[in-house]
């Protein structure tokens, strides 16, 4: 199979033609990231992905992380890939160079990461979790804690995780039972059990730094009484050297449907009464701190799904061009006609078009969200920072939930394009589907993302973020309306946006009067918001492409630009009407979901 994990031409299109990210170099913070530097970063990421990380994908799936006699090991190939990843300084792409980060724009880092994630996201998770743990310490830690932990985390000499979930406290973190008792030396004795800990134990590095949520003795109940602690697997002395093991014990790994290469561990803390931790940030403010990492993690999960979808689409496209099967429909009655590649068959083309539309639009949505974060980092005007932050906050649940569901759909279609071969392990698409399946679940299930969007983000700051986002969308609609080849599509998007605004107002009112009914439509509302975001991104791309064609695009680029117009037209004519129908369902206000008696569900 061709080793194409993401479409470099399309990545460049989004970065340089849609978003113009090189303009970030005009700000002192990103001065070194001109177009030449950005292109080099993307090229190096692709090389690392194909040469070092992709060869670990099968090992990760078939050998996986293993637990034996209390020790966790990862496939041997992971060690070589980890050395390449850390030697290239890929762990902390966006973080402060003072602590070993690269300080690059989030949009550029996100584009580079797509290649790495597509190669083997179960492996790259170890780096992502390490980055997240380091970010927490960089943001909320004391200077002493930063000196003690950060450089070894950001260099990949040590890894990091996040210990959140407990057997009786899954999505409801306020129910957690882990405790923290103050010691005379300023440390805390931690006792508890954490489950579903991604990268919770392994032999990739000498130490693992666990940010842990626990409740200090006497703290308030619920989320108001949760604090955050730094708990190393091996104690770290004040001079940064390693001390004794810290009574942090892996008691087993989960056997999962996918991402076998990542160790999903159960971790026992303080079974001998000897687990020590350092308070990170303020006491009883752990949840507030934790959401910093969670928001980044949710965007990363969306990128994981996008990466799986991108790889599945490109594998399916390559297969469809090479697999010879059946006669062309125009020659179906000619028994002497030769068989043709299956990409010539309309139904295969239909599936490939759906895959193309989602991969391209979700790539744009991901990079746009990151680009807004770059805008926050570079804006001097506090009002502009607040405007962009509101847009990012509104988009996060969509970028996580909608992207993971559509990414899963793309992976499913990838198998369908392959037919029977797609269902067996000879080809990579079946693993991509299994690996992708976790993304709608972890870092906050998609149902939770939908509730967050409806009950928190929709009315946040008086509804200002969604109004600001609508202004951005209308700016694209107006510019596309002025271009002949996109004018009709712009009109369709305007109607969809108006309808979505009506749905938002209606659902907001329902939430005040009939909260359970509104909650029953939270996920459909997120879904149609995602549909409109996809339509917006495709229209934006089509307008850029149409203008490039009008300006006399180079012959080698014309097919690509025509493809952008084709994607937007396909979505507008084949998929946007379905989104409008879903909006009608929401507006119907049916309460059957909450009215049906529990006893009416089967299974008793």
What does the DSSP assignment read for 42-59? HHHHHHHIIIIIGGGHHH
> DSSP code of 276?
E
- Burial degree of 239 (CB within 10 A; 0-12, 13-18, 19+): exposed
* Helix, coil or strand: residue 387: helix
- Residue 308 and residue 433: Cα distance in Å, rounded? 8
Q: Which residues contact 337 (CB under 8 A, 6 or more apart)?
A: 327, 328, 331
So which residues are the catalytic ones? 443
**Strand 179-182 to 208-216 pairing:** parallel
- Residue 490 and residue 482: Cα distance in Å, rounded? 9
In the chain, count H helices and then E strands.
19, 14
From the CA atom positions of the chain, what is the Rg in Å? Answer: 25
| Two tokens, residue 43 | 């090229």
- 266 pairs with which residues across the strands? 252
Instruction: Name residue, tokens 């202004």.
Output: 471
Q: Shortest CA distance to 36 belongs to which of 25, 27, 26?
A: 25
Angle at CA of residue 490, ends 488 and 495, nearest 5°: 100
Q: Which residues contact 524 (CB under 8 A, 6 or more apart)?
A: 582, 585, 586
Angle at CA of residue 375, ends 374 and 380, nearest 5°: 125
The answer to whether 223 touches 284, Cβ cutoff 8 Å, is: no
Q: Shortest CA distance to 229 belongs to which of 278, 179, 269, 294?
A: 278
CA distances to 191, 213, 234 from 277, in Å: 10, 11, 11
- Residue 482 and residue 59: Cα distance in Å, rounded? 52
| Two tokens, residue 599 | 């006893």
State which H helix or E strand residue 228 sits in: strand 226-232
Residue 368 phi/psi, 5° resolution? -65, -45
- Residue 102 and residue 94: Cα distance in Å, rounded? 6
- Residue 164 and residue 167: Cα distance in Å, rounded? 10
> DSSP code of 6?
S
């Amino acid at each position: 199979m061709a080793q194409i994990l993401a479409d470099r031409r399309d990545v460049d299109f989004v970065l340089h033609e849609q978003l113009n990210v090189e303009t970030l170099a005009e700000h002192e913070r990103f001065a070194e990231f001109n177009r030449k530097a950005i292109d080099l970063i993307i090229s190096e990421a692709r090389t690392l992905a194909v040469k070092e990380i992709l060869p670990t994908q099968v090992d990760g799936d078939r050998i996986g992380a293993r637990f034996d006699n209390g020790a966790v090991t990862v496939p041997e190939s992971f060690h070589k890939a980890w050395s390449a990843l850390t030697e290239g300084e890929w762990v902390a792409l966006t973080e402060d160079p003072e602590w070993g980060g690269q300080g690059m724009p989030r949009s550029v880092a996100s584009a580079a990461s797509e290649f790495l994630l597509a190669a083997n996201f179960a492996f790259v998770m170890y780096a992502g979790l390490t980055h997240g743990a380091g970010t927490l310490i960089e943001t909320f830690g004391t200077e002493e804690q930063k000196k003690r932990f950060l450089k070894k985390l950001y260099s990949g000499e040590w890894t990091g995780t996040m210990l959140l979930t407990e057997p009786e406290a899954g999505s409801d973190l306020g129910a957690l039972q882990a405790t923290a008792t103050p010691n005379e030396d300023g440390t805390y004795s931690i006792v508890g059990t954490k489950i579903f800990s991604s990268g919770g134990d392994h032999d990739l590095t000498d130490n693992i730094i666990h940010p842990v949520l626990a409740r200090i003795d006497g703290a308030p109940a619920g989320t108001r009484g949760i604090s955050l602690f730094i708990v190393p697997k091996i104690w770290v002395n004040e001079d940064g050297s390693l001390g004794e093991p810290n009574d942090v014990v892996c008691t087993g790994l989960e056997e999962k449907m996918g991402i076998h290469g990542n160790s999903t561990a159960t971790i026992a803390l303080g079974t001998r009464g000897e687990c020590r931790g350092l308070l990170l940030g303020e006491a009883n403010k752990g949840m507030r701190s934790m959401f910093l990492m969670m928001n980044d993690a949710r965007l990363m999960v969306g990128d994981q799904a996008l990466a799986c979808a991108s790889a599945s689409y490109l594998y399916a496209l390559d297969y469809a061009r090479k697999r010879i099967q059946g006669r062309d429909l125009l020659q179906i009655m000619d028994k002497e006609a030769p068989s043709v590649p299956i990409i010539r068959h309309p139904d295969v083309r239909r599936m490939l078009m759906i895959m193309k539309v989602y991969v391209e639009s979700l790539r744009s949505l991901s990079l746009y969200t990151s680009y807004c974060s770059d805008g926050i980092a570079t804006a001097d005007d506090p009002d502009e920072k607040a405007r962009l932050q509101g847009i990012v906050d509104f988009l996060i649940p969509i970028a996580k939930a909608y992207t993971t569901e559509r990414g899963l759909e793309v992976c499913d279609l990838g198998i369908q394009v392959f037919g029977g071969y797609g269902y067996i392990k000879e080809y990579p698409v079946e693993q991509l589907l299994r690996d992708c399946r976790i993304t709608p679940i972890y870092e906050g299930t998609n149902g939770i993302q939908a509730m967050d969007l409806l009950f928190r983000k929709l009315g946040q700051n008086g509804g200002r973020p969604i109004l600001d986002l609508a202004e951005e969308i209308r700016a694209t609609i107006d510019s596309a309306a002025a271009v002949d080849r996109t004018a009709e599509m712009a009109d369709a998007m305007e109607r969809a946006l108006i309808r979505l605004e009506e749905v938002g107002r209606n659902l907001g009112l329902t939430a005040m009067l009939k909260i359970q009914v509104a909650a029953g439509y939270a996920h459909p509302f997120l879904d149609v918001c995602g549909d409109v975001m996809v339509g917006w991104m495709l229209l934006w791309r089509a307008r850029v492409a149409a203008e490039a064609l009008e300006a006399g695009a180079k012959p080698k680029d014309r097919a690509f630009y025509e493809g952008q117009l084709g994607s937007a037209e396909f979505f507008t004519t084949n998929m946007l009407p379905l989104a409008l129908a879903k909006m009608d369902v929401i507006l119907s206000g049916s309460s059957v979901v909450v009215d049906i008696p529990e006893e009416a569900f089967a299974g008793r």
